[in-house]
Structure 1
Amino acid sequence: MSFELREHTADVAVEASGDTLDACFAAVADGLTAAQCDDVPDGVGDRFELSVESERVESLLFDYLDELVYERDVRSVLPADHEAAVTGGDDGTWRVDASARGVPFDAVEAREVKAVTYSEMRVEETADGWHAYVVFDV
Structure 2
Amino acid sequence: MFSMCYTLREHTADVAVEAHGSTLGNVFAAVADGLTAAMCDELAETGDRFSFSVRAESREALLFDYLDQLIYERDVRGVLPAAHEATVRQTDDEWIVDASARGIPFADVDARDVKAVTYSEMRLEETGNGWEAYVVFDV
TM-score clears 0.5:
yes
Q: TM-score range by the shorter chain?
A: over 0.9
Secondary structure in 2 matching 1:111: coil
Secondary structure in 1 matching 2:30: helix
Structure 1 residue aligned with 2:51 = 49
Structure 1 unaligned residues grouped into runs of 5+: none
Secondary structure in 2 matching 1:38: coil
Residues in 1 aligned to 2:93 and 2:19: alpha-carbon distance in whole angstroms: 24
Query: Offset of 1:91 from its aligned partner?
Result: 1.7
Structure 2 unaligned residues grouped into runs of 5+: none
| Percent identity of paired positions between Structure 1 and Structure 2 | 70
Structure 2 residue aligned with 1:5 = 8
Structure 2 residue aligned with 1:135 = 136
Residues in 1 aligned to 2:94 and 2:75: alpha-carbon distance in whole angstroms: 27
- Output aligned runs, 1:1-138, within 5 Å: 1-42=4-45, 44-88=46-90, 91-138=92-139
TM-score, normalised with respect to structure 1: 0.97
Q: How many residues align?
A: 136
Secondary structure in 2 matching 1:91: coil
After TM superposition, which residue ranges in structure 1, 4 or more long, deviate above 6 angstroms?
Answer: none
AA matched with 1:77: V
CA RMSD for the aligned pairs? Answer: 0.6
- For residues 49-98 of structure 1, what are the alpha-carbon distances to aligned partners after superposition, in whole Å with 9 as ceiling and x for unaligned? 0100000000000000000000000000000000000000x523100000
Residues in 1 aligned to 2:128 and 2:94: alpha-carbon distance in whole angstroms: 24
Residues in 2 aligned to 1:7 and 1:116: alpha-carbon distance in whole angstroms: 15
AA matched with 1:97: D
AA matched with 2:61: S
Residues in 2 aligned to 1:24 and 1:3: alpha-carbon distance in whole angstroms: 9
- For residues 91-133 of structure 1, what are the alpha-carbon distances to aligned partners after superposition, in whole Å with 9 as ceiling and x for unaligned? 2310000000000000000000000000000110000000000
